[in-house]
């Protein structure tokens, strides 16, 4: 494959933007080499500036569950654009999107729209602290909640440790009220609540972690989070920015049968345009300004163009219900990748929930960050580039889930499996 145009454009980009990108994962840092510069998307495919066609398993890191250029979404955008792009005043469309979210996500009674997943988690944390009058927030190693200062804290200690910042610019003061625990560790969770329970405002968690590869919560761990937070007067924040409208139409909370106090959303809820949302129990949400005292605002929040894309996407998911089809495709893909690694004699495990899946170069199962960190990431880099050479575009890190969309076909999946057989055998 020829990547000369990509190389040249990326070289220029590096003189214009830090690292040449506007979000770090795009720079291919963990696999090396030059990122592909994309020109357009169509259904399940991306086309780069050198004219290479790739089967896309990133889907813009989550939002594009319907594939690129879904006709219903494009039509909704066209209609919305005719009326202008932003008013800074309420619109009826915001009611429609809020109602859809309330109807589809079991625990949600009221919604506030924001512009990104990061804004959603940042605002949810502030709301939880304002509602409870407490300071401490619990997060789990390897869970990503956007670039919120207080949530950008080191992952890795096996015991409960009070957080230390791991990005320059995040002060010790900001992260000192963040308590980091191990994912899927019920005993550690209970012990932390026994010691600090009366100071804990909230636990925030990914129900199925996508940000250390696909790592689902054990059912008893999810239940333990619900139980200890209720017992200690803390809130449970389920970060469904990635899983919302993906692992099922009602998100992971529908699959687990758990009812969080606050849910954060992003990605699919904007259908490829910038939207996030935090939502939940009405008595909690009514603490947000102007109903309550917790400040949160946004010039472009509920923007009519983005809102239109969100409505069209959620309606298509509700009416077309592609989940069973996507699940079958993803299952076929997961089985095929596992078989390819097995026949090549490569240590591996495949973890999957619905359309999210990861081939780990680890004997598995991977249940926590400590285990994820043991993966053979060098092997992953060779695998990643081998797949690109065969026309398959997967996340450029062992620690990201790949996504199957409603636009993928069985031929796409089978092409991908054949590529994996060839690539893994040659590793
Ligand atoms: C992507 C993601 C975020 C951050 O969302 P942005 O829109 O990138 O700010 C937060 N939480 C989870 C679980 C995510 O996957």
Full strand arrangement of the beta sheet holding 38-42: 38-42, 45-48, 53-56, 392-393
Is residue 419 over pLDDT 60? yes
Any catalytic annotation for residue 144?
A: yes
Residue 214 CA, chain-centre distance (Å), reads 10
Is residue 273 over pLDDT 60? yes
Given this model, what pLDDT does residue 151 score? Answer: 86
Given this model, what pLDDT does residue 27 score? Answer: 92
Is residue 156 over pLDDT 50? no
Which of 57-66, 114-123, 147-156, 396-405 is the least confident region? 147-156
Which of 93-102, 161-170, 284-293, 363-372 is the least confident region? 161-170
The per-residue pLDDT for range 259-272, each reduced to its tens digit, is 999 999 999 999 99
Is residue 205 over pLDDT 60? yes
Q: How confident is the model at residue 167 (pLDDT cuts 50, 70, 90)?
A: confident
Given this model, what pLDDT does residue 163 score? Answer: 59
How far away, in angstroms, is 5 Cα from ligand 1 center?
Answer: 30
In CATH, the number for domain 71-320 is 3.40.640.10
Q: Cβ(223)–Cβ(247) under 8 Å?
A: no
- Taking phi over 0 as left and psi of -120 to 50 as alpha, with beta for the rest, 77 belongs to alpha
Is residue 302 over pLDDT 60? yes
For residues 192-218, give the mean pLDDT. Answer: 96
Given this model, what pLDDT does residue 29 score? Answer: 87
**Which segments of the chain belong to CATH 3.90.1150.10?**
4-65+322-425
Is residue 155 over pLDDT 60? no
CB of 210 sitting under 6 A from ligand 1:
yes
CB of 277 sitting under 6 A from ligand 1:
no
Which ligand 1 atom minimizes the distance to the CA of 116?
A: 7
How far away, in angstroms, is 321 Cα from ligand 1 center?
Answer: 24
Q: Cβ(125)–Cβ(134) under 8 Å?
A: no
Any catalytic annotation for residue 267?
A: yes
Q: How confident is the model at residue 168 (pLDDT cuts 50, 70, 90)?
A: confident
**Which segments of the chain belong to CATH 3.40.640.10?**
71-320
For residues 57-76, give the mean pLDDT. Answer: 98
Q: What are the φ/ψ torsions at residue 365 (nearest 5 degrees)?
A: -75, 155
Percent pLDDT > 70 in the chain is 97
Q: How confident is the model at residue 160 (pLDDT cuts 50, 70, 90)?
A: very low
Q: Cβ(340)–Cβ(359) under 8 Å?
A: no
**167/144 Cα distance (integer angstroms):** 14
Is residue 157 over pLDDT 50? no
Question: Which of 59, 65, 146 is the pocket-test mutation for ligand 1 (most atoms within 8 Å of CB)?
Answer: 146
Question: Which of 60, 142, 266 is the pocket-test mutation for ligand 1 (most atoms within 8 Å of CB)?
Answer: 266
Is residue 164 over pLDDT 90? no
pTM, entire model: 0.97
The per-residue pLDDT for range 13-64, each reduced to its tens digit, is 999 999 999 998 899 988 999 999 999 999 999 999 999 999 999 999 999 9
Q: Could you tell me which residues come within 8 angstroms of residue 72 by beta carbon, excluding any fewer than 6 positions away?
A: 66, 312, 315, 316
Q: Please give the mean pLDDT across all residues of the chain.
A: 95
Any catalytic annotation for residue 278?
A: no
Q: Cβ(390)–Cβ(54) under 8 Å?
A: no
Higher-pLDDT residue of 176 and 362 is 362
Q: Which CATH architecture is the domain 4-65+322-425 placed in?
A: Alpha-Beta Complex (3.90)
For residues 356-366, give the mean pLDDT. Answer: 97
| Helices marked H in 218-322 | 219-231, 252-256, 282-285, 304-320
How do 208-209 and 215-216 pair as beta strands?
Answer: antiparallel
Given this model, what pLDDT does residue 161 score? Answer: 46
* Of 56, 177, 185, 239, catalytic: 239
CB of 146 sitting under 6 A from ligand 1:
yes
Q: Cβ(136)–Cβ(151) under 8 Å?
A: no
**276/118 Cα distance (integer angstroms):** 8
The per-residue pLDDT for range 125-146, each reduced to its tens digit, is 999 999 999 999 999 999 999 9
For residues 184-206, give the mean pLDDT. Answer: 97
Given this model, what pLDDT does residue 165 score? Answer: 60
CB of 209 sitting under 6 A from ligand 1:
no
Cis peptide before 352 (omega within 30 of 0): no
CB of 48 sitting under 6 A from ligand 1:
no
The per-residue pLDDT for range 225-266, each reduced to its tens digit, is 999 999 999 999 999 999 999 999 999 999 999 999 999 999
DSSP 50: T
Given this model, what pLDDT does residue 312 score? Answer: 98
Q: What are the φ/ψ torsions at residue 118 (nearest 5 degrees)?
A: -60, -45
């Amino acid at each position: 494959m020829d990547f000369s145009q990509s190389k040249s454009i990326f070289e220029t980009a590096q003189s214009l933007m830090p690292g040449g990108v506007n979000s770090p994962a795009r720079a291919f840092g963990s696999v090396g080499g030059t990122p592909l510069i994309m020109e357009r998307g169509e259904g399940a495919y991306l086309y780069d500036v050198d004219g290479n066609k790739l089967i896309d398993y990133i889907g813009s890191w989550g939002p594009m569950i319907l594939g690129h250029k879904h006709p219903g979404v494009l039509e909704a955008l066209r209609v919305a654009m005719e009326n202008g792009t932003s008013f800074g005043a309420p619109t009826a469309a915001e009611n429609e999107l809020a109602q859809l979210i309330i109807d589809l996500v079991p625990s949600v009674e009221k919604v506030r729209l924001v512009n990104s997943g990061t804004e959603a988690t940042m605002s949810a944390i502030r709301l939880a602290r304002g509602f409870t009058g407490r300071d401490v927030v619990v997060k789990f190693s390897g869970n990503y909640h956007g670039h919120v200062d207080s949530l950008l804290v080191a992952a890795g200690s096996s015991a409960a440790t009070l957080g230390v910042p791991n990005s320059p610019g995040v002060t010790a003061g900001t992260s000192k009220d963040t308590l980091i625990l191990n994912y899927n560790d019920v005993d550690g969770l209970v012990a932390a609540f026994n010691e600090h329970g009366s100071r804990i405002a909230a636990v925030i968690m990914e129900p199925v972690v996508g940000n250390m590869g696909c790592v689902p919560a054990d059912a008893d761990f999810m239940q333990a989070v619900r139980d200890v937070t209720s017992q200690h007067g803390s809130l449970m924040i389920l970060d469904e920015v990635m899983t919302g409208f993906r692992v099922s139409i009602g998100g992971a909370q529908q699959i687990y049968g758990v009812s969080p106090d606050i849910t954060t959303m992003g990605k699919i809820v904007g259908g490829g345009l910038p939207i996030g949302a935090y939502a939940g129990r009405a008595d909690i949400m009514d603490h947000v300004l102007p109903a309550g005292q917790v400040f949160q605002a946004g010039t472009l929040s509920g923007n009519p163009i983005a809102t239109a894309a969100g409505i069209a996407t959620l309606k298509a998911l509700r009416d077309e219900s592609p989940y069973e089809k996507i699940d079958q495709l993803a299952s076929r893909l997961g089985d095929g990748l596992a078989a390819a690694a097995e026949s090549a004699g490569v240590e591996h495990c495949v973890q999957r929930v619905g359309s999210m899946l990861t081939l780990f170069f680890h004997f598995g199962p991977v249940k926590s960050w400590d285990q994820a960190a043991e993966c053979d990431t060098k092997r992953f880099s060779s695998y990643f580039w081998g797949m690109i050479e065969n026309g398959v575009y997967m996340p450029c890190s062992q620690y990201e889930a790949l996504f199957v969309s409603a636009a993928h076909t069985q031929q796409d999946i089978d092409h991908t499996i054949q590529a994996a057989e060839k690539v893994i055998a040659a590793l």
